[in-house]
Chains A and B, each alone.
Chain A
Amino acid sequence: MALARIQVPKEAKRGELVTVRVAIQHPMETGFRYDNMGRPIPKNVINTVVCRYNGEEVFRAEMGSGISANPYLQFYVVAADSGELAFDWIDDAGERGSERVALTVVA
């Protein structure tokens, strides 16, 4: 599904604070809008974004219609072991998306 851009540094020192930036392409339809025929457009937002670091959940966002279109999130993760950051999200229509980013931890 939707296009996503995820920015994580390729390398980090152990214990370093890593900035994670996520931008997902999605209209985040509020359910309050009408199309040009006057029919209401159903609400459809990405309701959950989960970030797992080597399989363990580190961050979760539950979003509503109050989050702008093409949602952007920035948060932090402490670098522990080399591995991957996995991002999974789902919208109200049940469409899922996911993205994986490798992170190398140097001692």
Chain B
Amino acid sequence: MNKPNRSRRRFIAGAAAGAVIAQSRLARAQLAIQPLGPLIEKLTNGARVNEGRVSVDIPRLADNGHSVPLKVSVASPMNEREFVKTIHVLSERNPRPLVAAFHFNPHCGRAEVVTRVRLNGSQRVHVIAGLSDGSYWSGSAEVEVTETACLDAT
């Protein structure tokens, strides 16, 4: 009478432990939102970042975090006197917050880039644009991600 009971208990304890481990793995994959301030400061060398001029086009709801279309454009002339030099794309929740850096020059004609990004969960995607006159502008967009990237299937 005692013996089967004990093995049943062991099984339940094991199952519970398994559930806890699975939960903690999930929690680790879904990183908490991290402040981007220090990274932005490093990118701009501490210069002031103005809000505006940058438009971030991303779907409000992304089904698949492995590939989310992203369009970034900066309202700025692109001539020798004034042009957009860099565009940095930052993620609050990715294990590596710097997603990509794009470098432009007046020959581009338009400060716009389209790509596809990986996003590790719902978050706000931030973009910092550096202009030739040394000013920095920022824009951001909120995106809801149902299936996150980085959550490994194996």
Contacts and interface: CB of A to CB of B under 8 A. Distances in A.
Interface residues of B, number: 32
B107 A78 contact: yes
Instruction: Provide the main secondary structure of the chain A interface.
Output: strand
A105 interface: no
A77 B108 contact: yes
Given A30-B150, A32-B95, A74 B100 contact: no
Interface string B103-114: 111011110111
Interface in B84-139: 89, 91, 94-96, 98-105, 107-110, 112-119
A60 to B, nearest CB: 4
Nearest to B29: A32
A61 B118 contact: no
A17 B99 CA distance: 27
Interface of B: 66-68, 89, 91, 94-96, 98-105, 107-110, 112-119, 149-150, 152, 154
